[in-house]
Amino acid sequence: MRVLAVDTATDAVVTGVAELSADAGVSVLADRTVTDRRRHAELLTTLIAESLAQAGLGGPDLDGVVVGCGPGPFTGLRVGLATAAAYGDALEIPVYGVCSLDAMVAQEQSAGGVIGTALAVTDARRREVYWALYRDGHRVAGPNVVAPQTLAEELAGTSIDVVVGTDGFTDRFEATPGSTQRPSVTGLVTVAASAVLARSVPEPLVPLYLRRPDAVELKDQKKRR
């Protein structure tokens, strides 16, 4: 099965096409990633088109779409979700949403880097981080958003084997740094593999904003004051 993968939950726009085998093996046919937190909307459709061209496929050749649902900043995240939903609707194929942090840990695990307990942490801006904790690849806490120092204090008594995510935050924890810094095509498709292969009816896409957006209507600004 051929799957389009999209993620805009971090400062990078991640797109690609992967082939999913019957035993849930993932082979990446195309991968286009550009880091630019201010141009998600401008870059996304172009990178999808480039990914399809690189894979030698057209839209009708796809069997599904997998999209990262965050957690992530409001503006970038909604670009990815809206675009994935539009492709699914236009091509009449299912769209599967996955936690972007799950995809990062799945990527690290596929590369042989996750053993035991893993922490995924990404930049949430406003001096905060998004995070989730995993044991043997399964999420046991999070996703949530908190100040880095607060998270370090909360996890002070937890033995963590590997930490993946944004540079500048991963080094605050006593754990082996992984090689994964953002969601990948392999990780995204791996998380959704069982649902895609089963041709399950996907759940509605729910963005993991975890907090209110930066931009609010004037009436809400007055309420805050």
Q: What is the pLDDT of residue 219?
A: 57
Residue with tokens 């981080």: 129
Band of pLDDT at residue 147, cut at 50, 70 and 90: very high
Instruction: Note the CATH number of domain 103-177.
Output: 3.30.420.200
Q: Each residue of 65-118: pLDDT tens digit?
A: 999 999 999 989 999 999 999 999 999 999 999 999 999 999 999 988 677 999
Assess contact for 70 and 7: CB atoms under 8 A.
Answer: no
**87 vs 202: CA distance, rounded Å:** 15
Fold agreement between 2-100+183-218 and 103-177: yes
CATH number of the structural domain 2-100+183-218: 3.30.420.40
Question: Do the Cβ atoms of 200 and 214 come closer than 8 Å?
Answer: no
Note whether 15 and 52 are within 8 A (CB): no
Residue tagged 């399964």 (tokens): 138
pTM metric for this prediction: 0.92
Amino acid letter at 107? Q
At 224, the amino acid letter reads R
Q: Domain limits of the chain?
A: 2-100+183-218, 103-177
Instruction: Give me the sign of the Cα torsion angle 172, 178, 179, 185.
Output: negative
Neighbours of 49 (CB within 10 A): 13
Give the pLDDT score at 222. Answer: 55
Each residue's pLDDT tens digit, 7-65 = 999 999 999 999 999 999 999 999 999 999 889 999 999 999 999 999 999 999 999 99
